[in-house]
Chains A and B, each alone.
Chain A
């Protein structure tokens, strides 16, 4: 039996590294230098982040967009339940997804034979689960919010059912784009799931968010801060592009 002191020692939380204003400014300066020097470690981490989240977004879009379109355009059995489930899964806690994927991929799990745990593929799987409901649910919302008169106009001009659907999806393109950006933002910023299934292995599964968590823990604020700045910059760049496209697209009201 463990002694009380041993348990207390075991449970004691590590004291946080003290941070002063000066050291914060210094860390910020060093972070900028790291970015400007195109530090290879930094670039590797950014590239892996974009690769994992990009792959997850592509897969989630390939599955989620058709589902959103189907739910938005066709009479599907249990549509209400499916939409409610998707809305609920939009708020899935990443750590729960991480745990689920971990159990699935662990050696004794049902997909253990694939040996994917602690690989970028496992991280992609976890992020697909997080992104899929966002893509499907927000695409569905974008499609149902298209003015019904678009569908009617398309029919009256002689469109086939497939052409009518295409016209409606085209009208929803800006909403669908927002759905994809929201999903990408969610997976890029996520840390819980990929930390569990990726293991944060340097040079292999270490991405921006997990590095920030690790380096902050170690008191190495330069790298953490530079990655934080880059993460924000990427998010800002994507949102600016989307905002501009949407602004260009929304020139008036439906007539």
Chain B
């Protein structure tokens, strides 16, 4: 059953400053949605709200699973994931960081190990599995974040600026990973980026947020 998402008149303010104004969007097809827009336009806020990390001041987010409205419970939260711009690396090894999503779902042992290695291999970090995760470079940390989210096989994956302040090599690896995920088919990726060219390269649907409102470009 595929998962889709609709936002309806989302509003969000921080300290009286309105970041999102009547934001209505629908993410109902597989593929890559890219949100672009200037700094402070509300891209990250929208992603945090859609991924259920934050509540909107008003408006609604509705998830549909197989055409029926899905309840916003733990079960639904476990079908989606958000990779934050500051990944939030746990102070342990690379392996354990990536295994976290499986551990909290009670998946351990050989199955967990093989899935972690697969995910690490996917982002090119297999050789660093036993390294302290906090010692990774910023590009590697982003890739770790991607692997950590991918391992739980989310149906909707939110990526907040996955390549910001990352060198070209890491950027290319992350982009390649995103394209490969899409090629596998069973995922909707909703990501924000500053990089207009990257947006053009990756997007199936391109959305622009300006002044807290969205416009669909293509």
Q: Which of B90, B136, B138 contacts A150 (CB 8 A)?
A: B90
Interface pairs (21), CB distance under 8 Å: A150-B90, A152-B53, A153-B89, A153-B90, A154-B88, A154-B100, A156-B84, A156-B149, A157-B101, A158-B74, A158-B78, A158-B152, A163-B104, A251-B132, A251-B134, A252-B135, A254-B86, A255-B86, A255-B88, A255-B134, A255-B138
Q: Type the 1/0 row for A216-255, where 1 means its CB is closer than 8 Å to any CB of B.
A: 0000000000000000000000000000000001111111
Q: Is B101 a contact of A158 with CB atoms below 8 Å?
A: yes
> Chain A interface (Cβ within 8 Å of chain B)?
147, 149-150, 152-160, 163, 167, 170-171, 249-255
Rounded to whole angstroms, the CA-CA distance of A51 and B134 in the bound complex is 38
Q: Is A149 a contact of B84 with CB atoms below 8 Å?
A: yes
Q: Which of A149, A158, A163 contacts B81 (CB 8 A)?
A: A158
B interface, size bucket: 20 to 34
> Chain B interface (Cβ within 8 Å of chain A)?
51, 53, 74, 77-78, 81-84, 86-91, 100-101, 104-105, 132, 134-136, 138, 141, 148-149, 152
Q: Is A152 a contact of B135 with CB atoms below 8 Å?
A: no
Rounded to whole angstroms, the CA-CA distance of A254 and B82 in the bound complex is 18
Rounded to whole angstroms, the CA-CA distance of A154 and B82 in the bound complex is 10
Q: Is A171 a contact of B90 with CB atoms below 8 Å?
A: yes
Rounded to whole angstroms, the CA-CA distance of A230 and B82 in the bound complex is 53
Rounded to whole angstroms, the CA-CA distance of A153 and B86 in the bound complex is 9
Q: Which of A159, A163, A251 contacts B135 (CB 8 A)?
A: A251
Q: Nearest Cβ in chain B — how far from A57, in angstroms?
A: 24
Known contacts: A158-B104, A158-B105, A163-B104. The answer to whether A153 contacts B135 by CB under 8 A is: no
Q: Nearest Cβ in chain B — how far from A88, in angstroms?
A: 31
- Which chain B residues lie closer than 8 Å to A171 at the CB level? 90-91
Q: Nearest CB to that of B51 among chain A residues?
A: A156
Q: Nearest Cβ in chain B — how far from A254, in angstroms?
A: 7
Q: Which of A156, A167, A250, A253 contacts B83 (CB 8 A)?
A: A156
Known contacts: A155-B53, A157-B148. The answer to whether A147 contacts B134 by CB under 8 A is: no
Rounded to whole angstroms, the CA-CA distance of A136 and B216 in the bound complex is 53
Q: Nearest CB to that of A148 among chain B residues?
A: B88
Q: Nearest Cβ in chain B — how far from A169, in angstroms?
A: 12
Rounded to whole angstroms, the CA-CA distance of A150 and B145 in the bound complex is 12
Rounded to whole angstroms, the CA-CA distance of A170 and B148 in the bound complex is 18
Q: Nearest CB to that of B81 among chain A residues?
A: A156
- Which chain A residues lie closer than 8 Å to B84 at the CB level? 149, 152-153, 156
12 further interface pairs, Cβ-Cβ under 8 Å (given A157-B100, A249-B91, A251-B91): A149-B87, A153-B84, A153-B90, A154-B88, A156-B81, A157-B149, A158-B101, A160-B104, A170-B91, A254-B89, A254-B134, A255-B134
Rounded to whole angstroms, the CA-CA distance of A155 and B82 in the bound complex is 9
Rounded to whole angstroms, the CA-CA distance of A254 and B84 in the bound complex is 13
Q: Which of A158, A252, A253, A254 contacts B77 (CB 8 A)?
A: A158
Q: Nearest Cβ in chain A — how far from B200, in angstroms?
A: 27
